[in-house]
Structure 1
């Protein structure tokens, strides 16, 4: 049976350290503050932002929620971002996705000050990550959380054969850079990649973020491999499952993340920690 990466337990450890850092900042008269821009009435987005607010409050982080109707214009949102950039009490800014079709998300993210970009999506921060640039800058939270979990569970990365399924800017692409920067050999794949299963069966580390429930099974994996399931899919019966069939995969993998309780809690914990990172860097 595989070792289970307990995202909830490790997230608690991250949160304890974050709380200690927040307390140290407060002794200096500094309160970390995150601003979240929420557009429309997407139910999942509402739940996610509530979770972030609740966790931030528990850690002593101020979290300001700025809500806009779905019909809001690009110009109005851009003006809000510029206002938050200029507000010295705001240390971190994020725009909750998904956004309405008429909003150019990339243009909006590009207006966030790079030093306040808690999601790590700004082109400047993406470029620094890609080039393995030295110094402090934010990194996309889910990939950062994955790398932290691998280190926490002492998974060797240098020299590992890594296959990432899913090429999004949220997970796949920044994660590719993080692995390459740690001397892994990385193959980026998508649903249409030829001979995908052959590639998976040779991989030491498999990361799946394709949005296809129970797609990858134990038969598709190398014995003893590390499997990171980023997918979260709700079935017709309401059950949440990942992109990997956990039951069969856990019989083959050496280490695996469950869904729920794996990558998800780490993403939230890393976002709160990165808010504190940004605050500390801005006050150095």
Structure 2
């Protein structure tokens, strides 16, 4: 492969890149490369604290991709939910209820729960919230879950993850009644998602949001070649199962995949959910492909008041020059996750009260 001078996605420094090799990671895709630097170029290991690696590609200066506006699409969905909840209340006097259980004081988890509560209030869903101490027991958490399982005013139960390390996450998630599992994490829901001829009661919110973005953007999935990067139970695996249900041909790329960029370059649709900032380069994308970026990663930014900014798994500036459509970060998949949680809660209330 010929070497090329190319500006890095997250730095103004230029580097001459030679071929790289994949190395195993237990958490995500990571890469290493041999780098020959201009004398004034910083060591790549010192740029945002990590090594940078990518396949070089000649880029044009114009952005050609359509931006898939997750904020706008999520607002459309919330408006539809608001209207449907109002109709349900008028016709049968039922208001959907969502219970959220938060264990501990993690700032990010508190923010997520606060945003979910605001979203519920905005569409007319009643919000029930339980805040437990970090050192509480599994039994205490399960006691609250059991109470919500038996409460007819609660139609959805969400246990905010991650849980403290001393708790068995599976035991707690399995305690949620499958008919109120609006997060879609119950093994029976995932099992039904994987089986032909079976329908899950709920689909995990983030993967469901990814598919909804494709549908509402007029992007056909049937017969397309799709690659999902990452195989987590929360996003990667259910996203692949959903794409398969839409009759796409699926490949999952993960930490042990050989030549991942070659596989990804064949895809008409790419969904990336690795949690590695700027991993997916423009050279990995087939011209005209659609790219859904699930990642939300903080990177150092001295010019930001917070000292950091949020970026996705995808090197947006490069990919936007190659793809036909791409989601931004923030403002892409993120708003859809909460919209799908509200949708699942409404769906649960309708099913439990046989409301059409």
Q: Which residue of 1 aligns with 2:232?
A: 168
Which among 98, 120, 134 is matched to residue 184 of structure 2? 120
SS of equivalent to 1:227: strand
Asked whether 1:13 is paired with 2:83, we answer no
Q: Is the 8 A contact 2:267 2:289 kept in 1?
A: yes
In the comparison of the two structures, how many residue pairs are matched?
A: 284
Q: Which residue of 1 aligns with 2:17?
A: none
Asked whether 1:251 is paired with 2:321, we answer yes
Which has the larger share of helix? 1
Q: Structure 2: which 5+ runs fail to align? A: 1-63, 302-307
Q: Is the 8 A contact 1:136 1:281 kept in 2?
A: no
**Offset, 1:24:** 1.0
SS of equivalent to 1:239: strand
SS of equivalent to 2:154: coil
Which among 87, 90, 99 is matched to residue 24 of structure 1? 87
Which among 16, 34, 40 is matched to residue 98 of structure 2? 34
Equivalent-residue separation in structure 2 for 1:133 and 1:266 (angstroms): 27
Q: Which residue of 2 aligns with 1:282?
A: 352
Call closer, same or farther: CA 1:213–1:128 in 2, change over 3 Å.
Answer: same
Q: Which has the higher contact order (CA 8 A, sep 6+)?
A: 1
**Offset, 1:18:** 0.2
Which among 272, 276, 281 is matched to residue 342 of structure 2? 272
SS of equivalent to 1:235: strand
SS of equivalent to 2:300: coil
Query: 4+ runs of 1 displaced by more than 2 Å?
Result: 132-136
Q: TM-score with structure 1 length normalisation?
A: 0.98
Equivalent-residue separation in structure 2 for 1:225 and 1:211 (angstroms): 21
Larger Rg: 2
Q: How does 1:194-213 map to 2 (within 5 A)?
A: 194-213=258-277
Q: Is the 8 A contact 2:193 2:199 kept in 1?
A: no
**Offset, 1:176:** 1.1
**Offset, 1:132:** 3.7
**Offset, 1:135:** 5.1
Which among 249, 261, 265 is matched to residue 331 of structure 2? 261
Equivalent-residue separation in structure 1 for 2:105 and 2:97 (angstroms): 24
- RMSD of aligned C-alpha atoms? 1.0
Q: Which residue of 1 aligns with 2:153?
A: 89
Q: TM-score with structure 2 length normalisation?
A: 0.78
